[in-house]
Structure 1
Amino acid sequence: MHDQLQRPRPRSSVQQPYGFLSYGRTPHVPASDGPADGRLLRFHAKLTEDVMALTDLDAKIPAVYLDRRIDLGSGWQDALKDHLARCQVLVPVLGPRLFTSDWCAVEWQCFQRRQQLQRDRGMFTRNAVVPVLWNPLKSEDIPSPYAELQYTHQDLGPHYAQDGLLGLLTSGRHTTVNRVVYQLARKIVEVAVGARLEPCDPALFDDLFDSLNGSAGEAH
């Protein structure tokens, strides 16, 4: 009898959502036929598709979390905190609306606090942030803390660095867009598996959310 074929056991997958898309909402324009942030929704759908294709993530788990709720009730905030406590990689969509969003600032602070908690436990964590250059921006246009991020790379190509993903989508450069989004998906997967950021108790973020409670500003 031949020995039973021994197959290598794959490294266990990261089964929390891989990415958390942090973005500043664009208000709906009454004269527009499309939904607000329609191009961002298309980007999110393609990014999710590519992350799913690159991983063995369970289909019941969102590959890249995107918050589309507009209510500011406690249930909405609890859900947001829960995803911030479990997602592996923060994916900030760099643009003026992100830079001026109080909610995006809190999402950044939550992720930094969570990473610091893991470092305090003696566990090395690479920076689990993969930015998306949405608007065409110069380095001097990007405020702290986002200014420290490496948001361009040779794999993403010169047109992405020049026009941002929004510019590529608007001008209909579908082949370039698909290549850029695929490379972003690869980077998210690489960082998620490399960082292995542990989930935390969502209560770790309570004070950050409390600071925004009662605000009459943006919904996200």
Structure 2
Amino acid sequence: MAEDEFRVDESAPVFFLSYARTRNRIAAPPRDTNSKVFQLFVDLSDHVVELLGLRPGRTAGFMDRVLDGGQLWTEDLAFAAGHCQVFIPLISPQYLRSEWCAREWDAFSRRPVLLRPGAEASAGETPLIPVNWSVVERRRVPPVVSQRQMFSPTRLPSEIAPQYHDEGIYGLLSLGKNGKDAYDAVVWRLAQRIAKAYQTHWVAARVPDDVRELRDSFEEAGHELG
């Protein structure tokens, strides 16, 4: 393919943040139970705009804030899943049980991916970048997820990467000022990883015709990125 054939839709987000929506606790006052995910989304979006020099109005990321546990496959969600160039699943026990997260993963995984002309990527580096959101026992991670290269920050003070692996980003955000420095460093490295994936890979647009065609479980063999 010629370089001009590796075009992307400028109205599409650079990355899609896929996460398990959590409901309010029973008998608890109403609150945004996904506020920590939204904080990550905002911080990542700011960094990606800076790293890629996105023009004003260009959307850095997509985060669905409409679904409540998976009730509706909206046009906006379908467009983002079918056109974004980088997919960021926030891995947690809830994520691995979610039918809708599995569908989002499958929608992205079905899309053909190619290295851009002259680009180089390390083994395992693809535009699908699983992130440790909250700790999951290794034996409980299904093969379709475990065979992917989990995001692991590098070139940081020696204590930060182990803290991320032990606590997850949710844990770092829950530790207050004790986790803030680690959180800031990890998110910056993640934004750099997103920018690199965007610059080195091209993922063909493909919007699902019918959500029922998508796999709703991580326990089944999924479609793989090329």
Name the TM tier (shorter chain).
0.7 to 0.9
TM-score, structure 2 as length reference: 0.74
| Alpha-carbon offset, residue 180 of structure 1 | 0.4
Superposition CA RMSD, Å? 2.7
Q: Is the 8 A contact 1:20 1:64 kept in 2?
A: yes
Taking the aligned partners of 1:46 and 1:154, their CA distance within structure 2 comes to 16
| Alpha-carbon offset, residue 31 of structure 1 | 2.1
Q: Look up the match of 1:210.
A: 212
Unaligned runs of 5+ in 1: 1-11, 213-220
Whose helix fraction is larger, Structure 1's or Structure 2's? 1
TM-score, structure 1 as length reference: 0.76
Q: Look up the match of 2:126.
A: 127
Higher mean displacement: 186-195 or 51-60: 51-60
Task: Choose the corresponding residue for 1:28, options 18, 24, 30.
Answer: 24
Task: Choose the corresponding residue for 1:46, options 40, 43, 47.
Answer: 43
**Aligned residues, how many?**
190
Residue type at the aligned position of 2:168: G
Q: Deviations over 1:176-203 (max 9, x none)?
A: 1000001111101111111122323x2x
| Alpha-carbon offset, residue 146 of structure 1 | 1.0
Does 1:187 find its partner at 2:193?
A: yes
Q: Is the 8 A contact 1:14 1:57 kept in 2?
A: no
Instruction: Report the 3-state secondary structure (helix = DSSP H, G, I; strand = E; otherwise coil) of the residue aligned with 1:196.
Output: strand
Q: Look up the match of 2:102.
A: 105
Q: Look up the match of 2:138.
A: 139
Q: Is the 8 A contact 1:51 1:63 kept in 2?
A: yes
Q: Is the 8 A contact 1:47 1:182 kept in 2?
A: yes
Q: Look up the match of 1:158.
A: 162
Instruction: Report the 3-state secondary structure (helix = DSSP H, G, I; strand = E; otherwise coil) of the residue aligned with 1:206.
Output: coil
Taking the aligned partners of 1:109 and 1:70, their CA distance within structure 2 comes to 17
Residue type at the aligned position of 1:141: R
Q: Look up the match of 2:220.
A: none
Q: Look up the match of 1:167.
A: 171
Does 1:178 find its partner at 2:184?
A: yes
Q: Deviations over 1:111-169 (max 9, x none)?
A: 111126x69xxxx9963211110012232232231111222425161100111111111
Of the two, which has the highest radius of gyration?
A: 1
Q: Percent identity among equivalent residues?
A: 27
Higher mean displacement: 95-104 or 27-36: 27-36
